[in-house]
Amino acid sequence: MKKKVIFLVDMQSFYASIEKADHPELAQQPVIISGDPERRSGVVLAACPLAKKHGVQNASRLWEAQKQCPQAIILRPRMQLYVDISIKITNILNQFTDLVEVYSIDEQFLDVTASQHLFGEPLAIAKNIQATILNKVGIKARVGIGPNKILAKMACDQFAKKNKDGIFQLDFDNIEEYMWKLPIEKMFGIGRRMEQHLKRMGIRTIGHLANFPLHILKKRWGINGEVLWQTANGINHSPVTVKTHDQQKAIGHHMTLPRDYNRLEDIKVVLLELSEEVARRARFKDYMGGTVSLSVRGTSFKTPTGFQRQLKLTTPTHFDLDIFHAVCLLFQKYWDGLPVRSIGVTLSQLQIAQQYQLNLFNSELKKEKINQALDFVYLKYGPTALIRASSLNEAGQAFHRAEKIGGHYK
C-alpha cells in the first residue's frame, strides 16, 4: 500500500495573474488588484510578483501600495471572471484525481496517492499539473507536497512559493530541517494573539512547540493545545474530501461601509439589508437557523472597538424580519455609540427547512408564501427588482451590493 501523497495547489497572485493573462500588454508591468477607493474599499486584493518586489503586500491599503510602487497599474477586481477561472482549474485538477477539495478560490487540495499508477511519481504529477494549468489558463501554479494536508499546506506556503520551480515536498524526514526552524507565527493556525501567548511561554519556533511538553499545552488550552502540538509535529488525519461544502455550519454576510455610520437609523438600514441577504441565501440552500450573530467593528485600527454577540431564537427561521429583529436587539444592547465601520450578520445552528415546528402565534405559512414570491422575482429579474424603501435612503447599500460578488465588483 502506497503512502498518502497530498498536494496543495495554489495559484500565484491569482487575481493579478488572470488580469495579466487577459491583457498581455501588462506582462512586464507591476499590477495591483484593488477595490474601489472612493467607497473605502481600497485594499490590495492581489499584487503581481513585480509589484511585490517593491514591497506591496496583499491586504495593505491602496494608498500605501501606491507609495511603494507609484508605477503600478491599478485594476478593479472582476470577481465573476475569477470564479469562472477557479472552476475551470478545478476541472483540470479532476483530470488527475477524483479527490479534489476546494480550499479557497485559488487553493485546492488533491489526494494523488492512487494517481501515481497513471501519472508517475509525485514530482512528475506536480510538474504535469503546473504545465497543464499554464497552457490552458495562462497562470503559474505552486504545489506543496506532503503525507497529509497540514504538511502539504506548509510546504506550499513556506517553501514552494519561494522556489523557482514552485514545488516543494515536506514530510517527516525533513520536517526538522525545514519546518521546525520557522518562526512560530509561520505555522498554520497561529494567529497574532496565539503567537503572543506562545512567545511568552518561550516558544519562538515551530520546533520549540513540537518539543514542548504536551500535558502543559493541554492543561492550558485543552484539545486546542493538542491540535497545536500535532500541527507542529506534522500530524493531521483529515482526509481530502469532495464533500467539504456539502453541509454548511452557518450562512453570513459582512459589509465594510463606505463611510462611518453613527446614526442608529442609518445602521438599521444596513442591518435590514444584511438580514435580507442572509435569509435569502438560507432559503436558496433550503436551511433554517436557530441562532443569529452580529459582529460590529469600529473605525479605529489601533484601538479596536465593536463587539460580536449572538442570540438564540425561540424557533428556527429563514425569514428576514425575524433575523432583523434579533440583530436589532443585539445592536441596541451592545453598541457603545461610537462610529461603525463594518457590520456582519450570521445565521447558524442550521437545519434542513423541510421540517420545523410551527409557531401558533406567528403566521409562518403566510411569511413562506410572501418570501417564495420575492425569491421568484429575485431569481428572474435580479436582486434590485424589488427592494425596501429604506434602501433608497443615503445609508442604503442594496444597489452597490448587487454589483458585487463576495464583496467585490463582478
Determine how β-strand 73-75 pairs with β-strand 31-34: parallel
Report the C-alpha gap between 99 and 241 in whole angstroms.
6
Please indicate if the annotation marks 10 as binding a ligand. Answer: yes
Quick one: cell of 303?
484601538
Q: What are the C-alpha distances in Å from 164 to residues 19, 143, 168, 169?
A: 22, 12, 10, 14
The torsion angles phi and psi of 8, rounded to 5 degrees, stand at -115, 115
Comparing CA positions, the residue from 135, 176, 144, 188 lying closest to residue 163 is 144
Q: Is 403 a catalytic residue?
A: no
Comparing CA positions, the residue from 44, 51, 57 lying closest to residue 69 is 51
Helical pair 79-93 and 14-22, crossing angle rounded to 10 deg: 100
Report the C-alpha gap between 191 and 219 in whole angstroms.
20
Element housing 47 (H / E) = strand 44-47
Q: Where are the beta strands (DSSP E) in 54-176?
A: 73-75, 100-104, 107-111, 141-146, 167-169
Comparing CA positions, the residue from 7, 8, 20 lying closest to residue 139 is 20
Helices H / strands E in the chain, number of each: 15, 14
Helix, strand or coil for residue 139?
coil
For residue 47, what are the β-bridge partners?
A: 32
Q: Is the separation of the CB atoms in 123 and 131 below 8 Å?
A: no
Report the C-alpha gap between 275 and 47 in whole angstroms.
33
Query: Which sign, positive or negative, has the C-alpha torsion 136, 142, 147, 153?
Result: negative
Q: Is the separation of the CB atoms in 278 and 345 below 8 Å?
A: yes
Report the C-alpha gap between 289 and 313 in whole angstroms.
8
Report the C-alpha gap between 111 and 165 in whole angstroms.
21
Choice among 107, 273, 276, 277 that is catalytic: 107
Please indicate if the annotation marks 106 as binding a ligand. Answer: yes
Report the C-alpha gap between 85 and 90 in whole angstroms.
9
Quick one: cell of 270?
444596513
**Catalytic annotation, residues:** 107
Q: Which residues are annotated as a binding site?
A: 10, 106
What residues are designated binding site for Mg(2+)? 10, 106
